[in-house]
Structure 1
Amino acid sequence: MSEPVLSLKGITKAYNTGRPNEVTVLRGVGLDLAPGEVVALVAPSGAGKSTLLHIAGLLDTPDAGTVHIGGEDMTGRSDGRRTAVRRSDVGFIYQFHHLLPEFTALENIVLPQLVNGTGRRAAEERAMELLTSVGVAPRAGHRPAALSGGEQQRVAFCRAMANAPALLLADEPTGNLDPQTSDQVFDTLMDLVRQTGLCALIATHNPGLATRMDRRIFLDGGQMVSNLS
Structure 2
Amino acid sequence: MSEAMLALEGVSKTYNKGRENEVRVLDEAALQVRAGEMVALVAPSGAGKSTLLHIAGLLDTPDSGTVRIGGTDYTGLSDRRRTVARRQEVGFVYQFHHLLPEFTALENIVLPQLANGIARAEAQTRAADLLARVGIGARADHRPSAMSGGEQQRVAFCRALANAPRLLLADEPTGNLDPATSDQVFGALMTLVRETGLSALIATHNLDLAARMDRVVRLDQGQVVAG
TM-score range, shorter chain: over 0.9
Residues 80-112 of structure 1: CA deviation (Å, up to 9, x unaligned) = 110111000100000000001111100000000
Q: Which amino acid aligns with 1:145?
A: S
CA distance in 2, matches of 1:223, 1:83: 27
CA distance in 2, matches of 1:93, 1:18: 33
Residue of structure 2 in register with 1:46 after alignment: 46
Could you say which residue in structure 2 is the equivalent of 1:31?
A: 31
Cα distance in structure 1, aligned partners of 2:99 and 2:218? 30
1:83 is matched with 83
Q: What RMSD in Å do the two structures reach over aligned CA positions?
A: 0.8
2:146 aligns with 146
* C-alpha separation in 2, matches of 1:220 and 1:79: 30
2:129 & 2:183 partners in 1: Cα distance? 23
Distance 2:76 2:200 in 1: 24
Matches within 5 A, 1:1-229: 1-224=1-224, 226-228=225-227
Deviation (angstroms), 1:173? 0.3
Give the Cα separation in 1 of the matches to 2:226 and 2:220.
Answer: 12
Residue ranges of structure 1 left out of the alignment (5+ in a row): none
* Cα distance, 1:221 vs structure 2: 1.6
Deviation at 1:227, TM superposition (A): 1.6
- Offset at residue 4 of structure 1 (A): 1.1
TM-score by length of 2: 0.98
User: Aligned partners of 1:133, 1:38: CA distance in 2, in Å?
Assistant: 18
* Secondary structure in structure 1 of the residue aligned to 2:216: strand
How far apart are residue 137 of structure 1 and its match? Answer: 1.0
Shift of 1:15: 0.5
Q: TM-score, normalised by structure 1?
A: 0.98
How far, CA to CA, are the matches of 2:210 and 2:139 in structure 1?
Answer: 30
**What secondary structure, in the 3-state scheme, does the structure 2 residue paired with 1:30 have?**
strand
The unaligned stretches of length 5 or more in structure 2 are none
Tell me the amino acid that sits aligned with residue 45 of structure 2.
S
1:2 CA drift (Å): 3.5
Q: Name the CA distance, whole Å, in 2 between partners of 1:89 and 1:74.
A: 12
Distance 1:13 1:69 in 2: 19
Q: Deviations over 1:169-194 (max 9, x none)?
A: 00000000000000000001001100
Overall identity of the aligned pairs, in % = 71
- In 1, the alpha carbon distance for the partners of 2:3 and 2:194 equals 19
